[in-house]
């Protein structure tokens, strides 16, 4: 599967990179996203 960078996610959802990183970390922990 193709990956997406934190920068792309942050831009798409309108959060700073730090916020997107925290959100993605939670989604990984919950099993919704793979790193």
- What pLDDT is stored for residue 2 in this prediction? 82
Position 12 scores a pLDDT of 96
Query: How far is the C-alpha of 31 from the C-alpha of 35, rounded, in Å?
Result: 10
What confidence score (pLDDT) does residue 14 get? 98
Average pLDDT per 10 consecutive residues for the chain, totaling 35 residues:
90 97 97 93
Distance CA 10, CA 29 (A): 18
Position of tokens 């997406």? 4
Q: Write down the domain spans for the chain.
A: 1-35
Category of 4 on φ-ψ map: left (φ > 0), alpha (ψ -120 to 50) or beta: beta
pTM of the model: 0.81
Instruction: Note the pLDDT of residue 1.
Output: 65
């Amino acid at each position: 599967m193709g990956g997406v960078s934190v920068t792309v996610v942050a831009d798409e959802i309108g959060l700073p990179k730090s916020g997107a990183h925290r959100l993605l970390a939670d989604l990984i922990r919950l099993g919704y996203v793979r790193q």
